[in-house]
Structure formats: C-alpha cells, structure tokens
C-alpha cells in the first residue's frame, strides 16, 4: 500500500499572515503595530476571524476584507488578494515556508509516500509565478488548486480529485488542514486527518507523520 501526505498550503506549509505582521509592516512602510488582527493567535483581537470560524463568512471573504483594509492603510485600492500577499511577502518566498513543513515533507518523500497539495487559493493568493520560485513544490506529485478547478474544500469533489490524481484510495491519505470545515470534509471522504493548529506547527506535523507510521522530525534550520 502506497500512502500519501496531502497538505493544505496557506497556514500549513506557509506561515500565516498573522505570524508575519512585522515583516508585512516593514515591506509596506507601515508603522510597527499597525496591523493588530491576529486571527487564531488572539481571537479576541479579530472579530472578523471569529465570524469566519462560525461560518458567517467564507475564508476568501475574510481575506478580501483584510486586503481592502491594508490597501487603504497604504493609500491604495486593492481588489485582489494576491496584491496583498505578494506585496506583504516580497520576493523571498522561502522566508515564509515553515521549517517544520520542509522537514516533514522530506521525511515523507524519503519514505516513499506520495505528496499532494490541496488548496483553495494557492495561485489566487500567491500569484501564478509563486510555484516556479519555490523549489519545494517540485517534491509534490500533484497540486490541486481551486483557483483553477473552481471546486473549494470541503466539496467532496475536491478530495476525490486529489485521490484520483495520486492514484490512491482515500484511506491511504493523511490530510492536514488548519480549517475545521475542511477537516470534516476530508473525514467524510474517508481520509485520515490532522486538524493543524498554526500556533503549534511541530505538533501538527508530528501527528501527520505518526499516522503515516513514520518517525517524528525536528524542523530543519
């Protein structure tokens, strides 16, 4: 049996925008402390995040609201999420990748596991050329991105698409995502799942590796 590690991208492979406020402020020329919403790191600071977690708005709507808000702070009218992400993250794509992700991805690959990304907005958020600038992507057997498929998690078709492209049964896959609604969708599809806590990334990857029967890792420098 060939197992597969299926990863969300934003928040799971990459660090969240909540974790990189200082870098964002520096990149955009904003005063330190200008960005105060902290999402899962401080839900009380972020009522909009709480609304998203309660399914009162979608993840895309949340980030579109933040995009417009930050655009106003720099005196511009931003109507595309990729504008925010690319301006905030700059040219160094490696700087926003979790070292815990790098270690776990290499460990799974070395053990013969198949690798997939299942994202709702990889190219939408990061821009069409992001993948070409991130060598880590080359380790993956497939990338299923709703930017292009139009099928958002937790739609059952999204999970079926990734298993079809991997050539695996759902039960052979360990699916890791930071959004509970997507985890519920993965479980309904028959996948083993890890609800990734972005405040404890090493724990999340260790749990995924354990489900694959692999030793846990420490993040690479």
Q: What is the CATH number of the domain that holds 129?
A: 3.40.50.1000
Q: What is the pLDDT of residues 79-122, one digit of tens each?
A: 988 899 888 876 677 888 999 999 999 999 999 999 999 999 89
Distances (CA, A) of 206 to 29, 104, 210: 37, 8, 6
Distances (CA, A) of 94 to 133, 134, 143: 9, 7, 18
Please say if the pLDDT value at position 219 is more than 70: no
The reported pLDDT for the residue numbered 91 is 62
Residue 30 and residue 126 in one domain: no
Domain for residue 49, yes or no?
yes
Could you tell me the residue range of the domain that residue 196 belongs to? 4-15+94-211
List, in sequence order, every beta strand (DSSP E) within the chain: 4-7, 114-119, 142-145, 173-177, 192-195
Domain for residue 72, yes or no?
yes
Residue 67 and residue 26 in one domain: yes
Q: Which of 32, 58, 93 is the last residue of a domain?
A: 93
pLDDT over 70 percentage in the chain: 98
The reported pLDDT for the residue numbered 90 is 65
Please report the sign of the dihedral spanned by the C-alpha atoms of residue 99, residue 111, residue 145, residue 180. Answer: negative
pLDDT band at 154 (very low <50, low <70, confident <90, very high): very high
The reported pLDDT for the residue numbered 221 is 40
Residue 112 and residue 63 in one domain: no
Domain for residue 59, yes or no?
yes
Residue 46 and residue 78 in one domain: yes
Counted domains in the chain: 2
Residue 147 and residue 160 in one domain: yes
The reported pLDDT for the residue numbered 220 is 46
Please say if the pLDDT value at position 209 is more than 90: yes
Q: Which of 71, 93, 115 is the last residue of a domain?
A: 93
Domain for residue 108, yes or no?
yes
Q: What is the pLDDT of residues 31-64, one digit of tens each?
A: 999 999 999 999 999 999 999 989 899 888 999 9
The reported pLDDT for the residue numbered 131 is 86
Domain for residue 155, yes or no?
yes
Residue 114 and residue 200 in one domain: yes
Residue 136 CA to residue 138 CA, distance in Å, equals 5
Residue 132 burial by CB count (10 A; 0-12/13-18/19+): exposed, middle or buried? exposed
Of 31-40, 86-95, 128-137, 174-183, which range is least confident?
A: 86-95
Dihedral angle, C-alpha 132, 185, 169, 102, nearest 10 °? 40
The answer to whether 65 and 81 are in contact (CB under 8 A) is no
Domain for residue 136, yes or no?
yes
Residue 88 and residue 105 in one domain: no
Residue 194 CA to residue 211 CA, distance in Å, equals 9
Q: What is the mean pLDDT of residues 8-22?
A: 94
Residue 101 and residue 11 in one domain: yes
Q: Which of 33, 65, 93 is the last residue of a domain?
A: 93
Which residue, 219, 207, 129, is CA-closest to 174?
207
Domain for residue 175, yes or no?
yes
């Amino acid at each position: 049996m060939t197992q597969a590690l299926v990863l969300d991208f934003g928040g799971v492979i990459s660090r969240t925008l909540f974790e990189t406020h200082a870098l964002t402020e520096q990149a955009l020329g904003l005063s330190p402390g200008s960005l105060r919403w902290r999402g899962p790191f401080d839900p009380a600071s972020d009522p909009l995040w709480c609304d998203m977690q309660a399914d009162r708005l979608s993840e895309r709507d949340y980030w579109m609201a933040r995009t417009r808000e930050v655009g106003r702070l720099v005196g511009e009218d931003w109507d595309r999420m990729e504008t925010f992400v690319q301006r905030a993250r700059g040219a160094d794509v490696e700087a926003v990748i979790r070292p815990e992700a790098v270690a776990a991805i290499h460990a799974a690959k070395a053990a013969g596991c198949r690798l997939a990304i299942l994202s709702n907005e990889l190219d939408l958020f990061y821009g069409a050329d992001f993948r070409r600038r991130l060598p880590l992507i080359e380790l993956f057997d497939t990338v299923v991105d709703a930017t292009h498929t139009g099928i958002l998690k937790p739609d059952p078709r999204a999970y079926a698409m990734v298993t079809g492209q991997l050539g695996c049964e759902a039960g052979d896959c360990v699916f890791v995502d930071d959004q509970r609604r997507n985890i519920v969708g993965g479980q309904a599809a028959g996948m083993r799942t890890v609800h990734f806590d972005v405040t404890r990334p090493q724990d999340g990857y260790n749990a995924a590796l354990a489900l694959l029967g692999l030793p846990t890792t420490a993040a690479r420098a």
